Chains A and B, each alone.
Chain A
Amino acid sequence: MNQISATDRTARIALAGNPNCGKTALFNVLTGNRQKVANYPGVTVERKEGPLVTPAGRMTRVLDLPGTYSLRARSPDEVITRDAVLGRLAGEQPPDLLLCVVSATAPRVGLRLALELKRLGRPMLLVLNMADIARHRGITIDEAQLSAALGVPVVSSVAVRRGGTAQLLAAIDEALNQPGPEAGDPADWTAPSAGELRAMQREADRILKLAVTEPGRPDSVTARLDAVLLHPVAGLLVLLAILFVMFQAVFTWAQPLMQAITAGFDLLGNLAAVWLPPGLFSSFIRDGVIGGVGSVIVFLPQILILFLFILLLEDLGYMARAAFLMDRIMGGAGLHGRAFIPLLSSFACAIPGIMATRVIDSRRDRLATILVAPLMTCSARIPVYTLIIGAFIPARPVFGGLSLQGLVMFGLYAVGIASALGMSFLFKRVLWRKTPPEPFMLELPDYKLPRLRSVSLGLLQRAKIFLRRAGTTIASMMVVIWFLASVPLPPINATQPAINYSFAARIGHLMEPVLKPVGFNWQIDVALVPGMAAREVAVASLGTVYSIQSGKQADTALGSMLAGKWSLATALALLAWYIFAPQCASTLAAVRRETNSRGWTLFLFSYMLGLAYLAAFATYQIAVLLGAG
């Protein structure tokens, strides 16, 4: 059994604590950027682990557990925390040392959790995090007194400052040197009753009175900011302004970088054209590999800017406020206030959005959010929208200076949001008529300045995930579409473009009868098939299909080529289709994993496909009637 001998050498340390206690910042400092982010098997709860070598030279592995208020586990996130702490997770040892992280600025609720964790009888250290902010506010904590009252060692730490964890590292070594108590049987654990919880909170309050002196004035910066940011009217206006700036940034700041990436891939394609002998292989490298991967990687800047905003707002402590402001408004549409953050993330990509729904306790509210999250306009739709708008919507100013193209883009986003709210309202009315609304209970943390380190680590992880996807799923789909569009080769005496003899043409013609009423030609039909892997692939596929058809290299001219081949009605129908179409296999996989139900995944797929067909049909037919056919 090598597994056991391996864990003998490498001690396992688990970080547990309330949300917002600075646990993840502490984890980042302890493990640096060597952390591994993955999912727990079977659920899309992120599992973060990283190595730590203690000052005494001991190899350890640190596990960051999702934040929780109690081991009673109400959401999937909290189930993971409970099971990891109790050593119930399949294939995982219980931790050798538990670091219970408590915010020194507001230790009251954290201390109650510490008492609950202490009852497990596992080796434990209490870490008073954010000790610098607490000192700054005049909160003094007598660590010796606290340690004596609790019966566990107590250390302070400042996760965000160099050297702020020296005391903690020394304490970890000391704790690991002592033989731990025998682990109790995890099956013995039972959830505490309300009475026990209350007794624990009273005990925590008693200990606090002994060990902590507070000046009795809460954080004045937070209070002053909240006077505006949580104001019923001003708060909502600020939230709108933040969202507006965010979308402006995604579309304008990213432009130079995107142009640079496009230029880079064009150069690479030209180099390949020079170096490779002309023929099938050269076409494969240029159109299939370089063109395909390039057409997807170009969206990296936009995705990173969107995530930059989301990470900054999260670090700042604003996201919980946004949920507070939106609770009633979202409630009108049958959604939970906490659904706001997942839906906002879905503008970047539905997958992190669907994963973020795990903070919602109630299964029904979670399901409703998951079902509508893919309707929010994700960044993978941007290439499709940009291409078609650029080709068919004239770039002229309307209403005194607003760009018509920008307005159409905004309209597409608005329809996405409106349909998400409309569908969730419908689900609530039809599927869950009888269940009363679930409660909304959320801690609003003090504001703190976002830390460069944690934001950049978060961005780096997002970039890695995106590039891995571009390099694997998307690249392989591009190879498939290139193959289908190039094989079989046309006969020697061919009179038509080569692609008309390919498998792709046959598939496209097969789909034509179904999609003709919505105005799609067979080239679009072909592009929809690989678009199932990821929406942005449809653009690359159209490029491949039309470039192989015309024998020229696909590049920025794709738009003008389309403008000559499609009617305006077709273009508008394709836009309408893309608002709703469930064209992303990885999203469906995430929904399947997260809902743990094939039925709901199928339901999501069917209702979105139905909406897409109806919307495209209506758009096409109306446009033709108005003379745009």
Chain B
Amino acid sequence: MKPHSADPCCRLGDASPRFRGRIVAVVAGLSDSALGPEELERRLVEMGFVEGAAVELRHQGLFRGDPIAVQVDGTMVALRRREAHAILVSAGD
């Protein structure tokens, strides 16, 4: 499968509110989550974070902007930035 747009611009975990884009890749190794990379990848995929999905960062918490609420193709998912670091996104629709 071809990447959807240009090069990955950033990790979803670094994005600011109202960021819109598409998922380019899920690379569990980019996150220092307590879960192992394989398990983190599976969980992210189960919540709908797969390549090509449209994402929008809708809300963030009060302290250090953590956790974040992300709209993924019609579902709103809350997660911490630490885990969201594993999701590479490119900006734009």
Contact = CB atoms under 8 A, between A and B. Distances in A.
A218 B71 contact: yes
A232 B43 contact: no
Contacts of B48: 108-109, 112, 201
A443 B66 contact: no
Interface residues of A, number: 46
A90 interface: no
Nearest to B67: A327
Contact of B67 (A112, A328, A445): A328
Contact of A108 (B59, B62, B73, B82): B73
A201 B45 CA distance: 8
Contact of B34 (A70, A226, A439): A439
Nearest to A103: B75
A441 B83 contact: yes
A439 B33 contact: yes
Interface size, B (range): 35 or more
A233 B59 CA distance: 12
A324 B74 contact: no
Contacts of A194: 28, 38, 41-42, 45
A72 B61 contact: no
Interface stretch (A296-304, A339-347, A430-438, A616-624): A430-438
Interface in B28-58: 28, 32-35, 38, 40-48, 50-53, 58
A327 B45 contact: no
A441 B78 contact: yes
B79 A441 contact: yes
Given A108-B48, A337-B67, A440 B42 contact: no
Given A193-B42, A328-B64, A328-B66, A443 B75 contact: yes
A232 B60 contact: yes
B78 to A, nearest CB: 5
A211 interface: no
A70 B41 CA distance: 13
Contacts of A202: 50
A69 B46 contact: yes
Contacts of A439: 33-35, 40, 43, 79-80, 82-83
A329 interface: yes
B77 interface: yes
A324 B67 contact: yes
Given A232-B62, A328-B67, A197 B34 contact: no
B76 interface: yes
A441 B60 CA distance: 14
B3 to A, nearest CB: 15
Contact of A201 (B28, B50, B82): B50
B15 interface: no
Contact of A226 (B43, B50, B58, B77): B58
Interface in B73-93: 73-80, 82-83
A320 interface: yes
B63 A329 contact: yes
A587 B66 CA distance: 34
Interface string B4-39: 000000000000000000000010100011110010
A230 B59 contact: yes
A444 B82 contact: no
A324 B38 contact: no
B85 to A, nearest CB: 11
B76 to A, nearest CB: 4
B78 A324 contact: yes
Interface in A433-486: 435-445
B93 to A, nearest CB: 11
A611 interface: no
A403 to B, nearest CB: 32
Contacts of A313: none
Nearest to A214: B74
Contact of A325 (B44, B61, B76): B61
Nearest to A229: B59
A358 to B, nearest CB: 18
B50 A198 contact: yes
Contact of B62 (A112, A328, A441, A444): A328
Interface string A54-81: 0000000000000001101010000000
Contacts of B64: 328
| Residue among A197, A231, A233 with most chain B CB within 10 A | A197
Nearest to B80: A440
A448 to B, nearest CB: 14
A236 interface: yes
Contacts of B62: 232-233, 236, 325, 328
Contacts of A74: 43
A143 interface: no
A69 B73 CA distance: 16
A30 B6 CA distance: 50
A106 interface: yes
Contacts of B71: 218
A72 to B, nearest CB: 7
Contact of B47 (A69, A231, A323, A362): A69
Nearest to B52: A205
Nearest to B41: A194
Given A108-B74, A443-B77, A327 B47 contact: no
23 contacts: A72-B42, A108-B73, A109-B46, A193-B42, A198-B50, A201-B45, A201-B48, A201-B50, A202-B50, A218-B74, A223-B58, A226-B76, A231-B59, A324-B69, A324-B78, A325-B61, A327-B61, A329-B63, A436-B34, A441-B43, A441-B79, A443-B75, A443-B77
Given A69-B46, A109-B75, A438-B34, 11 more contacts: A74-B43, A108-B48, A109-B46, A112-B46, A205-B73, A226-B59, A327-B61, A327-B67, A328-B64, A436-B34, A441-B79
Interface of B: 26, 28, 32-35, 38, 40-48, 50-53, 58-64, 66-67, 69, 71, 73-80, 82-83
Interface of A: 69-70, 72, 74, 106, 108-109, 112, 192-194, 197-198, 201-202, 205, 214, 218, 222-223, 226, 230-233, 236, 320, 323-325, 327-329, 337, 362, 435-445
